[in-house]
Amino acid sequence: MNQILVKPPVETQTSLAAAGAVLTIDLDAVRENYRRLKARLGSGACAGVVKADGYGLGATEIATALRKEGCDTFFVAHVEEGVRLRAVLGNRPAIYILNGLPPGAEKEAVAAGLSAVINGSEQLDAWREAARRSGRKLPTAIQVDSGMARLGLSAAEVEAVAASADAFDGLDIRLVMSHLACADEPAHPANRAQLAEFERLRAMLPAAPASLANSSGIFLGPAYHFDLARPGAALYGINPTPGSKNPMLPVVRLEAKVIQTRTLAAGAGIGYGHTVVTEGPVETATISLGYADGWRRRAMAAAHFEGVSLPFIGRVSMDSIILDISALPAGRLKVGDFVQMIGPAQTLDQVAGLTETIGYEILTSLGHRFHRQYIGG
């Protein structure tokens, strides 16, 4: 007999009392970051990139906050992300699908009023056909590959479509865009090369507003701004200018709960593999956060409590980490207290640096069993 599985209710929020950790997302900081980016752009418009559930922070909450700053253009990666966002934002804002529409997904995209990002000539043909079938002019961005070799029409494809009389029939070309590969390295020669190639390719296409800059691209200067910028990372507090002071406000704070404390004598082996054996007495606390929550196993860091740094001791486990709390007065840190993991004492970019990754990867890896709280917005 076939069994029908009933899906459990999704996305139930973990209570503060039950949670092992708390993720605090400051929507006022997101809004301030948007204003800072917009101020840099002068007359240029500023979109919000909220793919991957708003870099893990909640696309619904982030986009709603950005709407209050007047943001009316959003980018996601997948059709499904666009459909969800449309339900939240209503009909007005433009929602672009960066990865392009997979063959067969055009109808869904049309139904949700999504804008296609055209990354190749087959996608262009399919979208034109969708326009014919729907009898509507469909909102469209043409992405060209100006030198990243990832997505977008190649130079040869641009030349071919430019030569065809009916390539864009039924399409409302609202944007010609491209993406920078090395924007976070201002001196990298690829930036200027991509800028020149973008200009060259764009000139062959129907006249439309242009978009090139991601977060870091905004900081390359006005030549890169064009009509619309597409920041993601900087909105979420990731430094768009690595190597210089972060011009953005931090957005996330991660605090983990103490679930046990103990006093160890000399000779105690700590954690998996006994990578540390105590030489003298050590006070420890075990916190309820581990690699299953997106804290990378190799990211040996410290937690902070009342300004005191509490180094990890032994290996990071799936659900827990052991801290050396000997620097605190005895009994000061108790079960149920929260220690800071990401915040003013240890920034997101610093945590990323511990394992040679980037803030983007840390944010999008952060787990789903935290208690999440939003402030402001």
Ligand X SMILES: *Cc1c(COP(=O)(O)O)cnc(C)c1O
Question: Least distance (Å) from ligand X to the CB of residue 229?
Answer: 9
Binding mask 67-106 for ligand X (x = CB under 6 A): -------------------------------x--------
Directed axis angle between helix 59-67 and helix 79-89, to 10°? Answer: 50
Nearest approach, Cβ of residue 83 and ligand X (Å): 19
Please enumerate, by residue number, every residue annotated as part of a binding site for substrate: 150, 318
231 lies in the binding site for ligand X (CB under 6 A): yes
Known catalytic residue at 272: yes
Residue closer to ligand X by CB (options 179, 304) is: 179
Q: Which is nearer to ligand X, 119 or 284 (CB)?
A: 119
Considering the complex, state which of residue 113 and residue 240 has its C-beta at the smaller distance from ligand X: 240
Backbone angles phi, psi at 47, to 5 degrees: -90, 180
Q: Give the C-alpha separation, 117 to 120, whole Å.
A: 9
**220 binding ligand X? (CB under 6 A):** no
Span from 79-87, 167-175, 227-235, 245-253 in contact with ligand X (CB under 6 A): 227-235
CB of 297 to ligand X, least distance (A): 25
**Residue 225 within binding range of ligand X, rule CB under 6 A:** no
Of the candidates 51, 55, 236, 360, the residue annotated as catalytic is 51
Residues in contact with ligand X, shown as a per-residue x/- string from 307 to 346 under the rule CB under 6 A:
----------------------------------------
Site string for ligand X, 21-60 (x = CB under 6 A): ----------------------------x-x---------
Q: Which residues are registered as beta bridge partners of 21?
A: 256
Q: Is 237 in the site for ligand X (CB under 6 A)?
A: no
Q: Nearest approach, Cβ of 280 to ligand X (angstroms)?
A: 47
Determine the interface stretch with ligand X among 14-22, 59-67, 229-237, 342-350 (rule: CB under 6 A). Answer: 229-237
Q: Is 291 a catalytic residue?
A: no
Rank residues 44 and 231 by Cβ distance to ligand X and give the closer one.
231
- Subset of residues 165 to 194 that bind ligand X, contact rule: CB under 6 A: 179
CB of 361 to ligand X, least distance (A): 12
In the annotated binding site, the residues are: 150, 318
The CB-of-231 to ligand X minimum distance in angstroms stands at 4
Of 230-238, 242-250, 258-266, 284-292, which segment contacts ligand X by CB under 6 A? 230-238
Question: 3-class secondary structure for the chain?
Answer: CCCCCCCCCCCCCCCCCCCCEEEEEEHHHHHHHHHHHHHHHCCCEECEECHHHHHCCCHHHHHHHHHCCCCCEEEECCHHHHHHHHHHHCCCCEEEECCCCCCCCHHHHHHCCCEEEECCHHHHHHHHHHHHHHCCCEEEEEEECCCCCCCCECHHHHHHHHHCCCCCCCEEEEEEECCCCCCCCCCCHHHHHHHHHHHHHHCCCCCCCEECCCHHHHCCCHHHCCCEECCCHHHHCCCCCCCCCCCCCCCEEEEEEEEEEEEECCCCEECHHHCEECCCCEEEEEECCCHHHCCCCCCCCEEEECCEEEEECCCCCCCCEEEECCCCCCCCCCCCCEEEEEECCECHHHHHHHCCCCHHHHHHHCCCCCEEEEECC
Closest CA to 214 of 157, 148, 155, 158: 148
Kindly list the residues in this chain that would bind ligand X in the complex (CB under 6 A).
Answer: 49, 51, 98, 179, 214-215, 230-234
- As annotated, the active-site residues are 51, 272
